[in-house]
Amino acid sequence: MTDFKALLRTLVEGGVDFILIGGAAATVHGSSRLTRDVDVVYRRTRDNIARLAAALTPYRPYLRGAPPGLPFRLDAPTVERGLNFTLTTQLGDLDLLGEIVGGGGYDALLPSTLLIRAFDIECRCLNLDRLIEVKRAAGRPKDLEALAELEAIRDEGSAEPR
């Protein structure tokens, strides 16, 4: 099970610049669909990557679905030379995305975010309109039902989440 509270707190308290996207962001906007992981777009600066690696290392991040025992380390050089990582951690599944289809990276998405507060922390979350746009851009059939729900939420006149 993914501990959304602990994962978000770990990133925030580690000083990581990130934007919550994906199913957890949909939950923030009112979706009732089950999601099992936390998806974030992280800022691709050297300092932020160092903070990201330092924050997550205690929770033993590892490549999700890969056989055990591989010499993987989520350190700064690994993140700098990669881009997107689908991980397991002791806090649950986490997708670290340097860029997303139809949205770009952190700085491109930042104007389309809102600051949310939960569990005594604050973090950035993609707004509903942009979340719908990037899900459409991803073009995955499994997202179509999720898109229908998100559009219905928008139709209901969901203002910014409380």
Q: Does 31 bind other proteins (CB under 8 A)?
A: yes
Q: Does 93 bind other proteins (CB under 8 A)?
A: no
Structural tokens at position 139? 């073009």
Per-residue contact string for residues 3-22; x = within reach of other proteins by CB under 8 A: xxx-----------------
Question: Are 41 and 62 a contacting pair, CB within 8 Å?
Answer: no
Q: Does 158 bind other proteins (CB under 8 A)?
A: yes
Q: Which of these segments, 44-52, 81-89, 101-109, 150-158, binds other proteins (CB under 8 A)?
A: 150-158
Q: Does 147 bind other proteins (CB under 8 A)?
A: yes
Q: Does 85 bind other proteins (CB under 8 A)?
A: no
Q: Does 90 bind other proteins (CB under 8 A)?
A: no
Q: Which residues in 107-136 contact other proteins (CB under 8 A)? A: 116-119, 136
Burial class (CB in 10 A: 0-12, 13-18, 19+), 11: buried
Q: Does 34 bind other proteins (CB under 8 A)?
A: yes
* CB proximity list for 25: less than 8 A, separation 6 or greater: 39, 125, 126, 131
